[in-house]
Amino acid sequence: MKESVAFILVLCLISSIDLSAQKLNKSDRVLIQNLKQHIQYLASDELEGRRAGDAGEQKTVDYIISQYQNTGIQAMGDNGFIQSFPIDEGKKFSNNAFIKINNQEAILDSDFFALSNSGIGNFSSKASITLHESNQVWFMDVNDVLEENASNPHFDLNEWFVNTANQIKAKGAVALFLHNSGTVVDNIRFNKYDTAKSLALPIVYFTKQGFNKLFNDELATYNIESNILFEHPKRTAHNVVGFIDNHATNTIILGAHLDHLGFNQDKHGLDLNNLVHNGADDNASGTAALIELAKSLAKKSPKNNNYLIIHFSGEELGLLGSKYWLDHPTYTGHFNYMINMDMVGRYDTARKLTIGGYGTSSKWSEILSKTPTPLFIHYDSAGTGPSDHASFYRKDMPVLFLFTGSHADYHKATDDADKINYEAQKDIVRLVQNIIKTTDNYDKLDFLKTREQSMGKSTKFTVSLGVMPDYAFTGTGVRIEGASQGKIGEKIGLKASDVLVQIGEYKLIDVMGYMQALSKFKKGDKTILVIKRNGEEIKFEIQF
Ligand SMILES: [Zn+2]
């Protein structure tokens, strides 16, 4: 998505070197060989897609650390090279919870789900759909509720849940079973990040399929047994941090995220399968490049800076590792600038190498023009963007973001090692080495704020709201930094710090989910947009 690409400068640096005719020297051949070896291992099925906090991530971490043994790279995590941090997996229906109707167990998700703020507990009942009796389960049809309130612009289903739960509990109901017999979309979903207060009694929503299967007779009495319980699991992810000490005043941070999507358990994949998502380009490529950079700097480095090497985890879940590191730095000192490599394996001359963050220091244009490379480059001034450099930019640090562009395999199980352009990746490593060399003759770089946003790494969009997401926002939803003139967002009056929480039937958990939701719409589609402003939900009807 390109919300504001007006300031993207497209400069092609065409050097006199013809890539195809370039004769590789020995160190280039070794570098290519090493990159290949790293990526082939990191993107192999054995690493199970490197999902943050899972066994495949641990193997990734072990591999990176093994690469740094006996290189002179100092461990700079809080437990050797490692910095652990928690990942909140959100609320889920407990494995011990169940619903049985006439001794038949209802199937979670396909038959039913409990509302995420449902009351909890055991209950049993002999209930009939049309009767509302004391000490029994009550049934209600959401379609009736929506129809009754169709002309009430202030009607809020969440409020209705709260009030109804209180009222029917007072009348003796032990639980409420909902279904929707109509065609109006009710948008009732399980929100795993729900922090709302528990309702007065259990409320369970039955899907059309579940309701028709389990309650097919209006007049029958159903034998219901249930226990509604939730779990709130957390897992532990790991950043890997190393340090190369030149006893200099300033430190350059070099970063790349090590995690990917695993078997798509977190549903950030753009394909709908549960195959291993190897993530060769995203981001075994950046990881491999960072390993090679770190090892070369450990051997010999420009002396006017120290180098902090950070392999972030949890990037795919919302830049979690970089945000955590910045909140809990394992090294404090004077930071010069940060370079992030995320997806640097698919260079071709048409796609070019994007260098983002070009506008984050007044010195970048001069520095980059002094740094030779055979690669075709596409400059993007934005300091934000969908990767870890955005976290550092938020802390007023000059950043560069290296990225060879999105492609058909992005966030799919087909992002594999055989599709990597290793020779160009070698040139990217050389480019970063040369940028570091050039900046060795400069003082600490000044920082500039950039207004432009870019979402280079994304799916194809045909619609947009014309808003700028705040990538550093850690709450549920998408907080915006502003709305572009003349676009939908501005027209309906969206403003900075509004939080988008729902588009159509899609609840928006984070920027990634927002992008995925947007990609489902096309020009002319009518839908609803729900936002939160000062804690209050506001609903808009929009047309793309
Ligand atoms: Zn990714």
Return the beta strands (E) in 444-488 as ranges.
467-469, 478-483
Given this model, what pLDDT does residue 58 score? Answer: 98
More confident of the two residues 269 and 451? 269
Of 236, 186, 258, 274, nearest to 507 (Cα)? 186
pLDDT digits (tens, 9 = 90+) for 346-358: 999 988 999 999 9
Given this model, what pLDDT does residue 461 score? Answer: 61
More confident of the two residues 513 and 342? 342
Phi-psi region of 381 (alpha: psi -120 to 50; beta: other; left: phi over 0): alpha
pLDDT digits (tens, 9 = 90+) for 407-447: 889 999 999 999 999 999 999 999 999 999 999 999 999 99
Q: Full-prediction pTM beyond 0.75?
A: no
* pLDDT of 17 higher than 60: no
pLDDT bin (cut points 50, 70, 90) of residue 122 is very high
* Residues counted in the chain: 544
Q: Are the beta carbons of 511 and 471 closer than 8 angstroms?
A: yes
Q: Are the beta carbons of 525 and 541 closer than 8 angstroms?
A: no
The residues pairing with 310 across neighbouring beta strands, listed in sequence order, are 241, 255
Token reading at 35: 């990159």
| Ligand 1 center from residue 285 Cα (angstroms) | 12
Q: Are the beta carbons of 433 and 296 closer than 8 angstroms?
A: yes
pLDDT digits (tens, 9 = 90+) for 244-259: 999 999 999 999 999 9
Given this model, what pLDDT does residue 474 score? Answer: 66
| CA dist list (Å): 20 to 16, 140, 349, 426, 427 | 12, 70, 12, 14, 13
Given this model, what pLDDT does residue 9 score? Answer: 33
Q: Are the beta carbons of 501 and 477 closer than 8 angstroms?
A: yes
| Ligand 1 center from residue 259 Cα (angstroms) | 8
pLDDT bin (cut points 50, 70, 90) of residue 10 is very low
Given this model, what pLDDT does residue 451 score? Answer: 62
* pLDDT of 456 higher than 60: no
The residues pairing with 44 across neighbouring beta strands, listed in sequence order, are none
pLDDT bin (cut points 50, 70, 90) of residue 529 is very high
What's the Rg (C-alpha) of the chain?
26
pLDDT bin (cut points 50, 70, 90) of residue 517 is confident
Token reading at 402: 């290296």
pLDDT (mean) for 65-77: 97
Percent of the chain beyond pLDDT 70?
A: 93
Q: Are the beta carbons of 399 and 341 closer than 8 angstroms?
A: no
| CA dist list (Å): 295 to 205, 231, 289 | 55, 43, 10
pLDDT (mean) for 372-385: 91
Token reading at 523: 């020009």
Burial of 195 (0-12, 13-18, 19+ CB in 10 A): exposed
Given this model, what pLDDT does residue 455 score? Answer: 47
Q: From CA 437, how far away is CA 79, in angstroms rounded? A: 31
Do strands 250-257 and 92-93 pair parallel, antiparallel, or not at all (unpaired)?
A: unpaired
The residues pairing with 537 across neighbouring beta strands, listed in sequence order, are 532
pLDDT digits (tens, 9 = 90+) for 182-226: 988 888 989 888 888 999 999 999 999 999 999 999 899 999 999
Q: Are the beta carbons of 446 and 362 closer than 8 angstroms?
A: yes
| Ligand 1 center from residue 282 Cα (angstroms) | 5
pLDDT bin (cut points 50, 70, 90) of residue 261 is very high
| CA dist list (Å): 256 to 21, 118, 299, 393, 511 | 31, 40, 20, 15, 19
Of 109, 443, 413, nearest to 282 (Cα)? 413
| Ligand 1 center from residue 125 Cα (angstroms) | 47
Given this model, what pLDDT does residue 472 score? Answer: 61
* pLDDT of 458 higher than 80: no
Token reading at 277: 């998502």
pLDDT digits (tens, 9 = 90+) for 388-407: 999 999 999 999 999 999 88
Given this model, what pLDDT does residue 168 score? Answer: 98
| Ligand 1 center from residue 447 Cα (angstroms) | 27
Q: Are the beta carbons of 235 and 77 closer than 8 angstroms?
A: no
Name residues whose C-beta falls within 8 Å of residue 232's C-beta, 6 or more positions apart in sequence: 88, 89, 90, 91, 92
Given this model, what pLDDT does residue 439 score? Answer: 97
Q: Are the beta carbons of 522 and 466 closer than 8 angstroms?
A: no
pLDDT digits (tens, 9 = 90+) for 268-316: 888 878 999 999 999 999 999 999 999 999 999 999 999 999 999 999 9
Given this model, what pLDDT does residue 140 score? Answer: 97
**Half-sphere exposure in the Cβ direction for 327 (13 Å, CA):** 10
pLDDT (mean) for 125-144: 96
Q: From CA 396, how far away is CA 389, in angstroms rounded? A: 11
pLDDT (mean) for 66-83: 97
Q: From CA 20, how far away is CA 359, in angstroms rounded? A: 32
| Amino acid identity, position 389 | H
* pLDDT of 81 higher than 60: yes
Which residues lie near ion ligand 1 (Cβ < 5 Å)?
Answer: 282, 316
Q: How many other CB atoms sit within 10 Å of the CB of residue 14? A: 11
Q: From CA 320, how far away is CA 64, in angstroms rounded? A: 19
The residues pairing with 378 across neighbouring beta strands, listed in sequence order, are 354
Of 193, 191, 236, nearest to 90 (Cα)? 193
| Ligand 1 center from residue 195 Cα (angstroms) | 27
| Ligand 1 center from residue 410 Cα (angstroms) | 8
| Ligand 1 center from residue 318 Cα (angstroms) | 10
| Ligand 1 center from residue 500 Cα (angstroms) | 22
| Ligand 1 center from residue 21 Cα (angstroms) | 33
Q: From CA 387, how far away is CA 281, in angstroms rounded? A: 14
User: Chain-wide mean pLDDT for the chain?
Assistant: 90
> Helix, strand, or coil here: 260?
strand
Given this model, what pLDDT does residue 428 score? Answer: 98
| Ligand 1 center from residue 3 Cα (angstroms) | 20
Burial of 138 (0-12, 13-18, 19+ CB in 10 A): buried
* pLDDT of 146 higher than 80: yes
pLDDT (mean) for 518-530: 88
| Ligand 1 center from residue 520 Cα (angstroms) | 19
pLDDT digits (tens, 9 = 90+) for 150-186: 888 888 899 999 999 999 999 999 999 999 999 888 8
Given this model, what pLDDT does residue 197 score? Answer: 93
Q: From CA 61, how far away is CA 139, in angstroms rounded? A: 51
Percent of the chain beyond pLDDT 90?
A: 72
Phi-psi region of 280 (alpha: psi -120 to 50; beta: other; left: phi over 0): alpha
| Ligand 1 center from residue 457 Cα (angstroms) | 8
